[in-house]
Structure 1
Amino acid sequence: GLSNSLIERVASLVPHGRWREFKGLAVATGPGGFTGTRLSVVMARTLAQQLGCPLLGVSSFALMAQRLATDEQPFWITQPLLRRGVVAGQYRVRDAVVEELQAPRLLEADQQVSPAVEAEVDVDVDVAALLGRLQRSLQRDESLPWQPVLPIYPTSPVGPV
Structure 2
Amino acid sequence: MTNTDKKYGLGIHTSSPELGLAITDFAEDIRWETWNLGRDLSTHLHQKLQEFIPPQTWQDLSFIAVAKGPGSFTGTRIGIVTARTLAQQLNIPLFAISTLAAVAWSYKNQNQDLSLQMPAQRNQLFTAIYQLEKMGINPLLEETLMTPEAWEETLKNWQNSYQLIKVENGLGKSVLNLLELANLEWQKGKRSHWSEALPFYGQHPVLERRTHP
TM-score (norm 2): 0.64
Q: Cα deviation per residue 1:127-153 (whole Å; 9 max; x = unaligned)?
A: 222222333333443222111211111
What is the aligned partner in structure 2 of residue 159 from structure 1?
207
- 1:41 paired with 2:41, answer no
Contact 1:72 1:94 in 2 (8 A): no
- 1:23 paired with 2:83, answer no
Describe the shift of the 1:9–1:91 C-alpha distance in structure 2 as closer, same or farther (beyond 3 A): same
More strand by share: 2
Tell me by how many angstroms 1:123 deviates.
3.5
Describe the shift of the 1:24–1:156 C-alpha distance in structure 2 as closer, same or farther (beyond 3 A): same
Q: Cα deviation per residue 1:99-121 (whole Å; 9 max; x = unaligned)?
A: 11222221046312325321255
The Cα RMSD (Å) is 2.6
Matches within 5 A, 1:64-83: 64-68=103-107, 71-83=110-122
Q: Give the counterpart of 1:105 among 144, 150, 155.
A: 144
Tell me by how many angstroms 1:44 deviates.
0.5
Describe the shift of the 1:67–1:22 C-alpha distance in structure 2 as closer, same or farther (beyond 3 A): closer
- 1:53 paired with 2:53, answer no
Describe the shift of the 1:137–1:70 C-alpha distance in structure 2 as closer, same or farther (beyond 3 A): closer
Q: Give the counterpart of 2:190 among 103, 128, 142.
A: 142
Tell me by how many angstroms 1:95 deviates.
3.9
Whole-Å Cα distance in 2 between the matches of residues 139 and 106 of structure 1? 31
What is the aligned partner in structure 1 of residue 15 from structure 2?
none
Matches within 5 A, 1:118-129: 118-120=166-168, 123-124=172-173, 126-129=174-177
Unaligned 5+ segments in structure 1 are: none
Of all paired residues, the percent bearing the same amino acid is 30
Tell me by how many angstroms 1:82 deviates.
4.6
Describe the shift of the 1:70–1:132 C-alpha distance in structure 2 as closer, same or farther (beyond 3 A): closer
Whole-Å Cα distance in 2 between the matches of residues 122 and 96 of structure 1? 22
Contact 2:123 2:147 in 1 (8 A): no
Describe the shift of the 1:92–1:136 C-alpha distance in structure 2 as closer, same or farther (beyond 3 A): closer
TM-score (norm 1): 0.82
What is the aligned partner in structure 2 of residue 13 from structure 1?
52
- 3-state SS of paired residue (2:126): strand
Whole-Å Cα distance in 2 between the matches of residues 100 and 110 of structure 1? 21
Contact 1:69 1:93 in 2 (8 A): yes
Q: Cα deviation per residue 1:33-70 (whole Å; 9 max; x = unaligned)?
A: 11111111111011111110011111011111133478
Contact 1:29 1:151 in 2 (8 A): yes
Whole-Å Cα distance in 2 between the matches of residues 134 and 21 of structure 1? 17
What is the aligned partner in structure 1 of residue 128 from structure 2?
89
Partner letter of residue 85 of structure 1? Q
